[in-house]
Chains A and B, each alone.
Chain A
Amino acid sequence: MHNVWLIAKREYTERIKTKGFLIATILIPLLMGGGLFGVATLAAKSKTTSHIAVLTSQLQLADDLKQELQNGKDSQMTVDILPARTSHAVLDQEMANKELDGYLVIVPATDAGRRPTFDFTPRSTADIATSSAIEEALHHVLTKEYLAAKGVSETETAALLAPVTLNVLGKNGVHGNSRSSFLVAYVLFLLMYMVVLLYGMNVARSIIEEKTSRVFEVLLATVKPDELLAGKILGVGAVGLTQVGIWMVAAGLLAARMGATSGVQISTPQVVFFIVYFALGYTLYSAAAAALGAMTNSEQELQQLNMFLMMPLFFSLLMLTPVVTNPNSLMSRIVSQIPFCAPLLMELRISISMPQPWEIALSIGLILVTIYAVLWVSSRIYRVGILMYGKKPNLPEILRWLKYS
Chain B
Amino acid sequence: MPIVELEKIRKVYDTKVAVEGLSLTIESGTMFGLLGPNGSGKTSTIRMMIGMTVPDSGSVSLFGKPFDRKALHRVGYLPEERGLYKKMKVLDQLVFLGQLHGLSEATARSRSLAWCERVQITEAIEKKTEELSKGMQQKIQFIAALLHEPELIIMDEPFSGLDPVNAELLQDTLIDLRKEGKAVLFSTHRMDQVEKMCDAIALISRGKLVLSGSMREVKSSYPRNRVHVVFSGDEAFLQNTEVEEAKNYAGVAELKLHTEAGAQKVLAEAMARGTVIHRFDVKEPTLEEIFIERVRASFGDEEARGIVDA
Q: A residues touching B (Cβ–Cβ < 8 Å)? A: 3, 6-7, 10, 14, 18, 210, 213-224, 387, 405
Contact = CB atoms under 8 A, between A and B. Distances in A.
Contacts of B53: 387
B58 to A, nearest CB: 16
B75 A221 contact: yes
Task: Give the 7 A-B residue pairs with the shortest CB-CB distance, closest first.
Answer: A214-B83, A215-B83, A221-B77, A217-B79, A214-B81, A213-B83, A222-B100
Contacts of B88: 14
Given A220-B52, A387-B52, 7 more contacts: A3-B100, A14-B88, A213-B86, A215-B83, A219-B100, A222-B100, A223-B100
B111 to A, nearest CB: 16
Contacts of B52: 217, 220-221, 387
Given A10-B96, A221-B77, A387-B53, A215 B72 contact: no
Interface in B45-73: 47, 50, 52-54, 69, 72-73
B100 to A, nearest CB: 5
B141 A218 contact: yes
Q: Size band of the B side of the interface?
A: 20 to 34
B296 to A, nearest CB: 28
Contact of B79 (A10, A210, A218, A223): A218
Nearest to B75: A221
17 contacts: A6-B96, A6-B99, A6-B100, A7-B100, A14-B85, A14-B88, A210-B83, A213-B84, A213-B85, A214-B82, A218-B79, A220-B52, A221-B77, A223-B100, A224-B69, A387-B52, A405-B54
Contacts of A210: 83
B165 to A, nearest CB: 25
B50 A221 contact: yes
A3 B99 CA distance: 8
Nearest to A388: B13
B182 interface: no
A6 B104 CA distance: 11
Interface of B: 47, 50, 52-54, 69, 72-73, 75, 77, 79, 81-88, 96-97, 99-101, 141, 144-145
A213 B141 CA distance: 13
Contacts of A14: 85, 87-88
B73 A222 contact: yes
Name the residue in B52, B84, B86 with the highest tally of chain A Cβ atoms < 10 Å from its Cβ: B52
A214 B52 CA distance: 14
Contacts of A218: 77, 79, 83, 97, 141, 144-145
A217 B86 CA distance: 15
B209 to A, nearest CB: 23
B85 A216 contact: no
Contacts of A223: 100
A160 to B, nearest CB: 71
A224 B83 CA distance: 18
A219 to B, nearest CB: 7
A162 B280 CA distance: 122
A244 to B, nearest CB: 24
B220 to A, nearest CB: 36
Nearest to B83: A214
A217 B72 contact: no
A218 B72 CA distance: 12
A163 to B, nearest CB: 60
Contacts of B141: 218
A218 B82 CA distance: 8
Contacts of A405: 54
Contacts of B85: 14, 213, 215
